[in-house]
Structure 1
Amino acid sequence: MGMTITEKIFAKHAGKSFVEPGELIMVNVDIALANDITGPVAIEEFKKSGAQKVFDREKIALIPDHFAPNKDIKSAELCKTLRDFAKEQQIVHYYEVGRMGIEHALLPEQGIVLPGDVVIGADSHTCTYGALGAFSTGVGSTDLAFAMITGKCWFKVPETIKFIYHGKLNPWVTGKDLILHTIGDIGVDGALYKAMEFTGDALSNLTMDERFTMTNMAIEAGGKNGIMEADNITLEYVKDRAKRPYEVFKSDEDARYSEIIDYNVEEIGPKIALPHLPENVVDVEEAQGIEIDQVVIGSCTNGRLEDMRMAARVIKGHKVHPYVRLIVIPATQQVYQEMIKEGITEIFIEAGAVVSTPTCGPCLGGYMGILAKGERAVATTNRNFVGRMGHPESEVYLSNPAVAAASAIKGRITHPREVA
């Protein structure tokens, strides 16, 4: 009996020749990740245990990104806890403001996460790294503390759903639209504690940035992880970034799946998720005309360079609607620098946008774009729960960067073909 990519990675990291769904295993962890919100809790548990040293100072990443640059005194104290622990333990992968980025964009960019890895993070969107052919998932801060001490983590091997995407993408359709369509189809609990394996000829035309977007949102369907086979595009991406050996895993032809779901992408147009769940997905045309107050382009979902290029292509030569706030947040300093070099930053500023240093900020209602009562925002982020970006009576609509940019220009939800 064959194994899926996820099962093969688990078997390798558990020192076993075979694993199957439902099996409880202890696996070795390649990277353990925390941010300025979850890290201090894990550090507290680490110290309570009596542990003196982390298992491997090169296999832990501490990234202050949620409320950094420091939003207030409390966030400054959280970031200081992270910084002090990184100094004390001589953590290699600690990135201060000015060098940091949003964690799930920074780690792949820096070659810290590689194909075949097991990655855990005290953040639900740790599933992002599956785009590299790695197993990655979010855990609690206590689990993270255990991993920081031992280098290991317990897992129940998940069943796998295979999603196959066929055909050629329509204009203005991106990886964000494919994953929104998928979540709209199966629901926010449609893949509960299951591996979501994405494949098909349509994905071969997606950039790495778009692939990261798809695996990033696996958690929004309840998935334990999202994962893709590492192909030539993946290997080209990691070639100059990798600083250690890695292994590429592929699902066996006779691998077992709990379900196989096929999609013809030629039937998929730009999508938007209506409040207050990522499963409330409709075609953009169905939501056109809804007036908005704010647009956010950024986050660990859509803050990469391809996202910025797409949004700039739409907004170039236009002005942001006079009663709309457009907030642009590059996911990393490297993305920010490239935006400046390519003239993208200038395009946004000339249009009337705010361009911020990298931060999670408004995505979780932290800062840099809090919504007031009754306000509506179109965002390239990943969640639109009640109160996600501010007041519980505000609304968040999830879209790709092109739809977000077009909406910023018109002051209402808009298909990008109307302005591009």
Structure 2
Amino acid sequence: MGQTITEKIFSEHANKKVRAGEIVRVDIDMIIGNDITTPISIRAFEESGQKKLARPDNFCIVMDHYIPAKDIASANQAKISREFAYKHDLKNFFDEKDMGIEHALLPEKGLVIPGDVIIGADSHTCTHGALGAFSTGMGSTDISFGMITGGNWFKVPETIKVELSGKPAQHIYGKDIILELIRMIGVDGALYKAIEFTGDSIQYLGMADRFSIANMVIEAGAKNGIFAVDEVTESYLTERAEANGGLRAEPKIHYSDEDAEYCQVIKIDIANLSPVIAYPFLPSNGKSIEQAVADDLKIDQVMIGSCTNGRIEDLRIAAKIMEGKRVARHTRMIVTPATQKIFLQAQKEGLMEILINAGAVVSNPTCGACLGGYMGILGDQERCVATTNRNFVGRMGARTSEIYLANSAVAAASAIAGKIVDPRT
């Protein structure tokens, strides 16, 4: 019996052939921390008596949740990570001078490599599976164990195979594909499973789409999401290598065997998919755009950004729709580029001028609005269309507020209309 990509990555790291269900101890290629979760890991690390990181060049801290600090508490929280980074002279420490949302910044920096095993104390660490890596979120104490030993224990997950067929129609993106999958299987439909995306539709999906899809597999309970490396991946990696003077390491590319064993196969016809809107209060509460339009949902705020949909492609989509138009009078719009590089590229292309002239507020790269921390808090009974990944009760502010998850085209068109509309009409 053959192996899946995920099984092969673990086999390569364990130096033996492994199967789903086995528990293995492997070295970690990249450990990711941020200003919210790293202080807990640092405390555990220091309480252990450990003086040095096991693999300092394989440990990264990205300051992205409350940066710049929103209050004294967040400033003191950030201070813990900064002092640790300076003390250990961390090579991969990204603060305000070179900031970005971690799951957009690391691939941009060439720090995520196909075949890697990656962990981070953030649930959306699974984003990096878009590059053919095994990447998953873990707890802060699990991260400290990796800091101390350079490795960790894993149960090799079973794999769900998702076969995508057909060419996406206008304004159908990776966000719609993953929201449709979550609608189909629910928030626990892939609990501790790998989700491997395959099919003829993959050729039509750029890296931005793949990052969005991998980012949200956790919303179905998955351990990781993964795409096989292809020409699109290779082109992206070449660009990153050129921009950064090389990649962190040599890619180790794996493909699933034809006779690999899957615990489930799910088929989705992308050609006939409409934009999907996840109604409150779960990402699995997906409705068609046609339903949302019929419901005549007035909105108070639109947010385009986050580690899910804050890439240059998202800003281009929004700017194209909004050029020469204006955000509705009763609606606010926040745009958050995922990294400073994306911000500068959008400025260079004239996208920022279009968005600001349309009435949008552009913020620095931050997770703030997405997690309900700052830079876009919702008030009581306010309704928001967001390109983010979660719409739980109180996720972006007041517990009576509502979040509707959507792609960037829907968000931009809805900002202009002041209610949820179909960008295709």
TM-score, normalization by structure 2: 0.97
Q: Please tell me the residue identity of whatever aligns with 1:303.
A: G
Please tell me whether the aligned partners of residues 304 and 335 of structure 1 are also in contact (alpha carbons under 8 angstroms).
yes
Aligned to 1:388: 395
SS at match of 1:204: helix
Give the whole-Å Cα distance in 2 for the aligned partners of 1:47 and 1:365. 30
Kept in 1, the 8 Å contact 2:4–2:261? The answer is yes
Give deviations 1:303-337, integer Å, cap 9, x for gaps: 00111111111111110011111000000000000
Look up the equivalent residue of 2:398 and give its one-letter code: H
Aligned to 1:93: 92
Q: What is the match of residue 260 of structure 1?
A: 265
Opposite residue 361 of structure 1, the aligned amino acid is G
Matched position secondary structure for 1:318: coil
Give, in whole Å, the separation in 1 of the partners of 2:309 and 2:320.
15
Aligned to 1:144: 143
Alignment correspondent of 2:14? 14
Question: Following the alignment from structure 1 to structure 2, what is the Cα–Cα distance between the partners of residues 84 and 10?
Answer: 34
Q: Take 2:270 and 2:101, find their aligned partners in 1: how far apart are those partners?
A: 30
CA distance in 1, matches of 2:205, 2:198: 11
CA distance in 2 between counterparts of 1:109 and 1:266 reads 30
Partner amino acid for 1:167? G
Residue identity in the other structure for 1:60: F
Task: Tell whether 2:273 aligns with 1:274.
Answer: no
> Which one of 334, 340, 349 corresponds to residue 342 of structure 1?
349
1:251 matched residue in structure 2: 256
The answer on whether the counterparts of 2:19 and 2:156 sit within 8 Å (CA) in structure 1 is yes
One-letter amino acid of the structure 1 residue matched with residue 142 of structure 2? D
**Following TM superposition, by how much is the alpha carbon of 1:243 offset from its aligned partner in structure 2, in angstroms?**
3.7
Residue pair 2:113, 2:248 contacting (<8 A) in 1 also: no
Q: Secondary structure at the match of 2:354?
A: helix
Aligned equivalents of 1:274, 1:55: Cα separation in 2: 44
Does the 8 Å contact 2:112/2:248 carry over to 1?
no
1:246 to partner: Cα distance: 1.6
Residue number in structure 1 paired with 2:5: 5
State the alpha-carbon separation in 2 of the partners of residues 290 and 101 from structure 1: 32
- 1:209-248 counterparts in 2 under 5 A? 209-240=208-239, 241=241, 242-248=247-253
Structure 2 counterpart SS, 1:143? helix
Listed as ranges, the matches of 1:106-125 within 5 Å are: 106-125=105-124
How far off its partner does 1:230 sit? 0.6
| Offset from partner CA, 1:95-130 (integer Å, 9 cap, x none) | 111311000000001000110000000000000000
Measure how far apart 1:174 and its partner are: 0.3
Q: Secondary structure of the equivalent of 1:361? A: coil
Equivalent residue of 1:417, what SS? coil
Q: Is contact 2:105–2:339 with CA below 8 Å preserved after alignment?
A: yes
Which amino acid is 2:169 matched to? N
Cα distance in 2 for partners of 1:72, 1:314 equals 36
Q: Post-superposition shift, 1:339?
A: 0.4
Query: Which runs of 4 or more aligned residues in structure 1 lie more than 6 Å from their structure 2 counterparts after TM superposition?
Result: none
Partner of 2:337: 330
- Distance (whole Å) between structure 1 residues aligned to residue 250 and residue 364 of structure 2: 32
Say whether the 8 Å CA contact 2:112–2:128 is kept in structure 1.
yes
Query: C-alpha deviations, 1:367-403, integer Å up to 9, x for none?
Result: 0010111000000000000000001110000000000
CA positional deviation for 1:56: 1.6
Q: Which runs of 5+ in 2 are unaligned?
A: 242-246
Q: CA RMSD in A?
A: 0.7
Aligned partners of 1:26 and 1:152 also within 8 Å: yes
Instruction: Name which of 279, 290, 293 aligns with 2:300.
Output: 293
Q: How big is the shift at 1:22?
A: 1.2
Alignment deviations for residues 194-222 of structure 1 (CA, whole Å, 9 cap, x no partner) = 00001111111111011000000000000
Mapped contact 2:119–2:136 kept (Cα < 8 A) = yes
Tell me, in whole angstroms, the C-alpha distance in 1 between the residues paired with 2:400 and 2:271.
36
Give the structure 1 partner of residue 376 of structure 2: 369
Following superposition, the deviation at residue 27 of structure 1 comes to 1.1
Which amino acid is 1:388 matched to?
R
Query: Which residue number in structure 1 is paired with residue 244 of structure 2?
Result: none
Deviation of 1:263 after TM superposition, in Å, equals: 1.2
Letter in 2 for 1:38: T
Once the two structures are TM-superposed, the CA of residue 417 in structure 1 deviates from its matched residue by 2.3
Any conservation in 2 of the 1:98–1:333 contact (CA below 8 Å)? no
- Within a 5 Å distance, the mapping from 1:189-228 to structure 2 comes to 189-228=188-227
Q: Look up the equivalent residue of 1:350 and give its one-letter code.
A: N
* Alpha carbons 1:316, 1:347 under 8 Å: kept: yes
Q: What's the counterpart of residue 48 of structure 2? A: 49
Equivalent in the alignment of 2:408: 401
Aligned residue in 2 for 1:134? 133
| TM-score, structure 1 as length reference | 0.98
Task: State how far apart, in whole Å, the 1-side matches of 2:99 and 2:145 are.
Answer: 25
Q: After superposition, what is the alpha-carbon deviation per residue over 1:244-289, rounded to whole angstroms, capped at 9, x for unaligned?
A: 2121110011110001111111121111000000000011110122
* Matched residue type, 1:334: K
CA distance, structure 1, for counterparts of residue 263 and residue 404 of structure 2: 31
Aligned residues: 417
Q: Residue type of the partner of 2:15?
A: G
Pick one of 405, 420, 423 that aligns with 1:416.
Answer: 423
**In 1, distance between residues paired with 2:76 and 2:209?**
35
| SS in structure 1 at match of 2:57 | coil
Matched residues in 2 for 1:44 and 1:182: separation? 38
Q: Secondary structure at the match of 1:173?
A: coil
AA at the equivalent of 2:207: M
Q: Deviations over 1:57-107 (max 9, x none)?
A: 210110010111111111111111111111111111101113110000000
Q: Give the match for residue 168 of structure 1.
A: 167
Alpha carbons 2:167, 2:201 under 8 Å: kept: yes
Cα shift at 1:149: 1.0
